[in-house]
Amino acid sequence: MRQSSQCAAVVANVCVCFGSAVPDALADETCNSPYISNLIKGQEDFVHVWTLGVEGLGDGSDKLVTVDANPASKTYGKVVDSISVGGRGEAHHMGFTDDRKFLWAGGLDDSEIHVFDVGTNPSKPKLLRTITDLPAKTKFVGPHTFYALPGRMLIGNLSNTADKGGVTGMALYNNKGSLIARYDMPTASFGGVQGDGYGYDIAINPAKNVLLTSSFAGWQNYMRELGDLIKDAEAMKHFGNTMVVWNLKSMRPTQVLRVPGAPLEIRWSLAPGQNWAITAAALTAKLWLIKQGAGGAWSAREVGTIGDPAQVPLPVDISITAAGKGLWVNTFMDGTTHYFDLTDPEHPKQTYQRRIGTQVNMISQSWDGKRVYMTSSLLAHWDKKGADNEQFLRAFNWDGHALTPAFEVDFTKEKLGRPHHMKFSARANQSRTLAALAR
């Protein structure tokens, strides 16, 4: 515990002395919303893994799995907690509230949103409540991205209740779990580009008052077996080909950008003076740069290739370094991670790659970039079959040149399920909440 308190370096958006900093950049720790306090800039203590339940494996339920990630701990690399939500709803992504006390975790199939308390005791999260009114109140389904705003959570969805296709929108809840507003993804033309109405990721640059969204596919595609889907030429037309630039204050779209091939995760470089974000298009295996021109308008431009697009490597998750100088890209089909030098974001250059497993999906890195965590599952119906269906959390150390394995959790052997999204937490050894002190 003592060692943990020395290692767990939590930088807070706090009054007093710890700096109320706007983060210089986003990373996974670097990829959190810029409105989140308490970024962990030292050693994380825990990795929380939002895990899809598998029928016949353990309790079969979706669950939040907590793994000890502090090398100084006796339980380093071990599962220290697992909390089931009592059903399978296609667990996928999650996001912290602005105060980093609560983790909202969504199901792409049942559209339920589970709110976990990870602030009181991060080694033992508690399920506080489940929000079930998203489809009824917004007509959206498939809550994907959970993006903190001060006092509220902006949710990027994937589909809709009417035809379960890709036309969707965003929902805004307050931190108490009440719906505030809904916003349709644009289907009209903006700046000469037709909106397709599809949604996926959300990323905000506060200094620019700009919100960027990307686009994937609807329930009918993401809940279908991948092998069947690929053979269905008509269904393969129903993937997003756009990104949208929004005025954050008004929540109105200002531009639609043509980015073919399902642009997924968006990462801003928020270093002072920078005016760009980057994304990877899954179906075309291309990196795209979204940049503001001298006149203030934004443009999207293809700037790099990931692996061999002819082999459909399927880039799925990306993670930008804190300084915005490097980018990890995971390609699902070949189970490989790629590191790109982003010193010149107009010309990303791959400098390293390593096969991680038979399949690999999410990637999260520590603020200092020295530790990298990867999970295996993409979607229940898109994961590989048989022996290729490895399900793991694998942790690595990164020295700037090569990845070295640190620890691994076999999620099948542990009867947990399919691990997907990860978030970090740290013990608050040096402080107590005012409420706790008043008791």
Partner 1 sequence: MFRVSRRVAACVSILASAQAAVDVSPATAPRMEFTPLAPGTYQLQAIQSVEDTTLLDERARPVRLSALTKGKITLLTFFYTYCVDPLGCPFAHQTLTLLRDRILRDRELAREVRFVGISCDPGTDTPDVLARYAMEFTRGSRLEWRFLTARSVSALLPVLADFGQDVSVDVDESGRATRALHHMLKVFLIDHRGRVREIYSLAYLQPQVMLNDIRTLHLERRSGFAGAGTAVRRAQ
Residues of this chain, 297-316, that bind partner 1 according to CB under 8 A = none
Residue of the chain from 121, 132, 150, 232 that contacts partner 1 (CB under 8 A): 150
Q: Would you say 151 and 174 are in contact if contact means Cβ atoms under 8 Å apart?
A: yes
Q: Which amino acid does the sequence have at 156?
A: G
Nearer to partner 1, 4 or 389 (CB): 4
- Which residue from 148, 260, 259 is spatially nearest to 211, judged by alpha carbons? 148
Interface region with partner 1, contact rule CB under 8 A, candidates 19-27, 54-62, 303-311, 398-406: 19-27
Region for residue 148 given its phi and psi (left: phi exceeds 0; alpha: psi -120 to 50; beta: otherwise) = beta
14 binds partner 1 (CB under 8 A): yes
Q: Which amino acid does the sequence have at 66?
A: T
172 binds partner 1 (CB under 8 A): yes
6 binds partner 1 (CB under 8 A): yes
15 binds partner 1 (CB under 8 A): yes
Nearer to partner 1, 291 or 420 (CB): 291
Task: Using the CB atoms, write b or e for 136-146: b if 16+ within 10 Å.
Answer: eebbbbbbbbb
Q: Would you say 148 and 35 are in contact if contact means Cβ atoms under 8 Å apart?
A: yes
- Which residue from 290, 201, 183 is spatially nearest to 240, judged by alpha carbons? 201
- Which residue from 116, 109, 17, 8 is spatially nearest to 64, judged by alpha carbons? 116
Residues of this chain, 122-141, that bind partner 1 according to CB under 8 A = 137-139
Interface region with partner 1, contact rule CB under 8 A, candidates 37-45, 110-118, 236-244, 332-340: 37-45
Size of the chain, expressed as the number of residues it contains: 439
- Which residue from 300, 284, 295, 281 is spatially nearest to 346, judged by alpha carbons? 300
Provide the minimum distance between the beta carbon of 196 and partner 1 in the complex, in angstroms, as a whole number: 20
Local structure of 239: helix, strand or coil = coil
Longest dimension (CA), the chain: 63
1 binds partner 1 (CB under 8 A): no
Residue of the chain from 89, 95, 106, 119 that contacts partner 1 (CB under 8 A): 119
CA distance 419 to 216: 20
Interface region with partner 1, contact rule CB under 8 A, candidates 98-106, 108-116, 195-203, 215-223: 98-106
Count of residues in contact with partner 1, rule CB under 8 A? 65
Nearer to partner 1, 46 or 339 (CB): 46
Instruction: Name the H helices within 140-189.
Output: none
Nearer to partner 1, 137 or 381 (CB): 137
24 binds partner 1 (CB under 8 A): yes
Nearer to partner 1, 178 or 187 (CB): 178
Provide the minimum distance between the beta carbon of 25 and partner 1 in the complex, in angstroms, as a whole number: 11
CA distance 200 to 253: 15
Interface region with partner 1, contact rule CB under 8 A, candidates 32-40, 311-319, 375-383, 410-418: 32-40
Q: Give φ, ψ of 229 to 5 degrees.
A: -60, -45
Nearer to partner 1, 175 or 358 (CB): 175
What is the secondary structure of 369-403 as a DSSP string?
SSEEEEE--S-TTTS--GGG---EEEEEEE-SS-E
Provide the minimum distance between the beta carbon of 299 and partner 1 in the complex, in angstroms, as a whole number: 17
371 binds partner 1 (CB under 8 A): no
83 binds partner 1 (CB under 8 A): no
CA distance 183 to 203: 15
Nearer to partner 1, 155 or 374 (CB): 155
Interface region with partner 1, contact rule CB under 8 A, candidates 58-66, 106-114, 203-211, 402-410: 203-211
Local structure of 81: helix, strand or coil = strand
**Exposed, middle or buried by CB within 10 Å (0-12, 13-18, 19+), for 266?**
buried
272 binds partner 1 (CB under 8 A): yes
Interface region with partner 1, contact rule CB under 8 A, candidates 168-176, 190-198, 302-310, 400-408: 168-176
- Which residue from 428, 427, 417, 361 is spatially nearest to 64, judged by alpha carbons? 417
Interface region with partner 1, contact rule CB under 8 A, candidates 78-86, 96-104, 312-320, 375-383: 96-104
Provide the minimum distance between the beta carbon of 424 and partner 1 in the complex, in angstroms, as a whole number: 14
Q: Which secondary-structure segment (H or E) carries 97?
A: none
Interface region with partner 1, contact rule CB under 8 A, candidates 17-25, 281-289, 350-358, 409-417: 17-25
- Which residue from 13, 94, 18 is spatially nearest to 49, judged by alpha carbons? 94
**Contact residues for partner 1, defined by CB under 8 A:** 5-6, 9-24, 34-35, 37, 41-42, 97-99, 101, 119, 137-139, 149-152, 172, 174-176, 178-183, 206-210, 247, 249-250, 252, 272, 275, 428, 430-435, 437-438
